[in-house]
Structure formats: structure tokens, C-alpha cells
Amino acid sequence: NQKKLLKGKTVLITAGPTYEAIDPVRFIGNHSSGKMGFSLAVEAVRRGAKVILISGPTSLKSSNPNIDLHRVTSAKEMLNKVFEYYETIDIGIASAAVADYAPKVVASEKIKKNEDTFSIELIKNPDILKTMGEKKTHQFLVGFALETQNEEENAKGKLVKKNLDMIVLNSLRDEGAGFKNDTNKIKIFTKTEKLEFDLKSKENVAKDILDCIETQILK
């Protein structure tokens, strides 16, 4: 019996990986499945929110009529889609694993395997969440941090640098956490608090994250 504490709120969620084209058949990507972001979207709708879900390439489907799903491919497309809606949202949750770099030049034809070695020059992608933080007026912003070392320090650094209200840390050092798994193990940092959670299903992790957001925005 869910209380609809997010009724009247618009929540924007980024999910999944981004693919950065090398040529017409190849790309740079990562292992994100989109499960964490899609679970957050379903849970936010259950709590009464209007949800805009902006997802990179994933095999996940959504038939929920209350989730406005937009599929994008690259980081630049994700950035543009986010900023079509940014002014209108109350809460932004960035669970996407955005590629930090993209090929500087995209070959127009399939690259042939002539050389023994081959390099691709990469150029930095826009940081979507950092840009959201810079343009923040009234939005409550939640980031994720996927770390492999100095986890807590890096997560708290991102909270400050990206001008966030909350950050969710998942570490690839924890078994069953992070990419692809149906489970995750998180810590949440607000500006003043640290909360630790057990390993659980991504559906239940989404509940913990939204409980924490509700506590913060309704206090």
C-alpha cells in the first residue's frame, strides 16, 4: 500500500550505457544494462511521480504508460534530450553509465584491417550531470558513482564537484554490485549523512534510494 509521496513531481532518470560510434559498425560502450535506471523509473511511478526515462541502448522494455521513455545512443544525444526537459523537472537521477570519451572522428565507411596496430583519437564527452548541476535552479539532483578504488572519497568529491544533493555509491569491489547483475549494494551520501545498505535486488535498491530522496525533499 504505497503512499503517493511523489504525486505532482516530475522525475527525470538517465539509464543504461552510451555508445560512441567509431565507424558505421563499431562503437565504444560499457556493460551497463539499464536495470538500475529502469527499476528507479518503475518505483518512482508507484510513488505517484511523472517519470521521464532517458536511456542509452539496452534490451529492456517498458510498457508502463506513466513512463515517458526516450531512447538515445550517444552521450551528446543524452545531453540534448535531458535539456529538452530540464527546466520542467523536480528531481533528476543520473544512473546512466555515460562514456567519458568519444572518437574524435567517426569514419564514414567500415574501417579495414590493414595495419598491425591501430589507434583511435578520443575527445572528452560532455559531463551531463555536471552540466545539470551548473544549471540547477530548483531541481533536486541525485548522482551515481561507480568506483573501483577510494570509493567514498571519490563519491563525496563528485557530490561537491557536480553540485548534487545526493550521491549513490556502488563499488565494483562488492560482489553482486554495479553492472548487469540483478542486485546492487549501495551507500548513499547526502551533504551531511552517510547511509549503508545490504546487497539486494535492484527493485529494492530503487526503493531505498527513493525513500531517501523523499526524506530529503519533504523535510
Q: Which residues are annotated as a binding site for CTP?
A: 100, 110, 126-129, 144, 158, 162
Interface with ligand PMT (CB under 6 A), residue from 90, 100, 152, 203: 100
Nearest distance, CB of residue 97 and ligand PMT, angstroms = 4
Phi, psi of 157 (to 5 degrees): -60, -45
Residue 30 is a catalytic residue: yes
Residue that has been written with the C-alpha cell 569514419 in this structure:
107
Nearest distance, CB of residue 20 and ligand PMT, angstroms = 11
Interface with ligand PMT (CB under 6 A), residue from 179, 201, 204, 211: 179
Q: Are 143 and 129 in contact (CB under 8 A)?
A: yes
In this structure, how many other beta carbons lie within 10 angstroms of the beta carbon of residue 88? 11
Distance CA 2, CA 199 (A): 23
For the chain, the 3-state helix, strand and coil shares in percent, each to the nearest 5, are 30, 30, 45
What mask of x and - would describe binding to ligand PMT in positions 46 to 75, judged by CB under 6 A? -----------------------------x
| Residue number with CB closer to ligand PMT (127 or 203) | 127
Stretch of 43-51, 112-120, 175-183, 210-218 lying at the interface with ligand PMT (CB under 6 A): 175-183
Nearest distance, CB of residue 68 and ligand PMT, angstroms = 19
DSSP type of residue 161: H
Distance CA 50, CA 31 (A): 28
Q: Are 15 and 55 in contact (CB under 8 A)?
A: yes
Q: Are 6 and 44 in contact (CB under 8 A)?
A: yes
Helix, coil or strand: residue 5: coil
Within positions 21 to 40, which residues make up the interface with ligand PMT, using CB under 6 A?
Answer: 32-36
Distance CA 202, CA 184 (A): 6
Nearest residue to 133 (alpha-carbon basis) of 95, 162, 106? 162
The active-site residue out of 1, 30, 64, 66 is 30
| Residue number with CB closer to ligand PMT (111 or 216) | 216
81 near ligand PMT (CB under 6 A): no
85 near ligand PMT (CB under 6 A): no
Nearest distance, CB of residue 66 and ligand PMT, angstroms = 21
Q: Identity (one letter) of the amino acid at 186?
A: I
Q: Name the residues that contact ligand PMT, by CB under 6 A.
A: 14, 16, 32-36, 75, 94-98, 100, 125, 127-129, 143-146, 158, 170, 178-180
- Catalytic site positions: 30
